[in-house]
Amino acid sequence: MGLANLVPGISGGTMLLAAGVYPRFINAISEVTRLRLKLGPVVILGTVVAAALLAIVLGAGALKDFVVNQRWAAYSLFIGLTLGGVPALWGLVRASKDARPMAAVWIAALVGFAAMAALAIAQQSGLGAAGGGGSNVVMLGLAGVAGASAMILPGVSGGYLLLVLGQYVPILSAIDSAKDAVRAGDYAAALSPALTVLVPVGIGVVVGVAVVSNVLRIMLARFEKPTLGLLLGLLLGAVVGLWPFQQGVLPDIGSTVKGEVVTAESQATIDAEDWPIAYFTPSGTQIGGAIGLIVLGLGVTLGVSWLGREKPARGQPPA
């Protein structure tokens, strides 16, 4: 689940399904957030969360470098990973016992698609948000809530939501910086990214797990088809923000990066992760590579979903 939440396009919920622990994990969240602290749910929740945090800490640096230095390849792979979540959600729609007509699904899907597409277009209008210049306590807390909500249902990618919100690289950078500082024994240096980035995100995660999970559970119980349709639209709309052929460019002298004017002296010291983003015309090789990576990502997520499919009881025919 931790690795899935790091990678835009893969749902943590889908990975829990593949591991066969999804129902117990959701039940554990419900029990713990209602302060029913029984040993079994606490152990399950603690084990999954601890393992996820370990995976995030160990994998954050490599994935951040992949996105910053090979953006077109990373985004191509993420498109495939994202689209691979569609069958999982569509399967939930088909299995729904909600008596509402399918029109409710399509209307909600259009709303979700429009909302995600508008968010992606607004985020890209500055062509630099992915670099992390828009981080603040509110946005980081919202990013934590978004990431937590993606753990609840299969098919919704927390990593992608962070990418669209412009907080993906800043959060991964903070994790990597804190990890390096602790490894070097410089605990004072580790406090800065921990307090300014990781604490707001952590608070958002706690709020998201405690509140969003229960809200989604209620919505699914009362408005199952519209809720699944909304999630489907959000998933499809996610692709809008992942046009792969964009790259970081060295900021011009006189431009502003992270609230500071770029000078001839400071230009060379600006980290690549803070460079503004610009679109470029791809070569034939890059187009072919992008298509191949999209297919690869699609296959990976479809494979995970296949592993996590509900198995029929012994002696029963498959659904």
For residue 85, being part of any structural domain is answered with yes
Structure tokens at 278: 């610009």
Residue 213 CA from chain centroid, whole number: 16
Nearest of 201, 223, 272 to residue 105 by alpha carbon: 223
CA pair distance 68, 218, nearest whole angstrom: 39
Q: Is residue 143 part of a domain?
A: yes
Phi, psi (degrees; rounded to nearest 5) at 246: -140, 155
In angstroms, the CA 186 to CA 172 distance is 19
pTM of the model: 0.68
**What is the amino acid identity at position 50?**
A
Q: Report how many domains make up the chain.
A: 1
Domain assignment present for 262: no
User: Would you say residue 256 lies in a domain?
Assistant: no
Residue 78 lies in a domain: yes
Q: Determine, yes or no, domain membership for 250.
A: no
Kindly give the confidence (pLDDT) of every residue in the chain, 319 residues in length, as a single tens digit, with 9 standing for 90 and above.
787 777 765 667 767 766 667 777 877 887 887 788 888 889 988 898 898 888 888 887 787 788 778 889 988 988 888 788 788 778 888 888 888 999 999 999 999 899 878 876 766 665 444 444 456 777 788 888 877 776 676 666 677 777 767 777 788 778 878 888 888 888 778 887 778 788 888 888 888 877 777 777 788 888 989 988 988 888 788 787 778 898 888 888 888 776 678 888 888 888 776 787 788 899 999 999 999 999 998 888 788 777 666 554 444 444 4
Quote the domain boundaries for residue 222. Answer: 2-243+269-307
Is residue 255 one of the residues assigned to a domain?
Answer: no
Q: Let me know if residue 96 belongs to a domain.
A: yes
Contact (CB, 8 A) for 164 and 156 = no
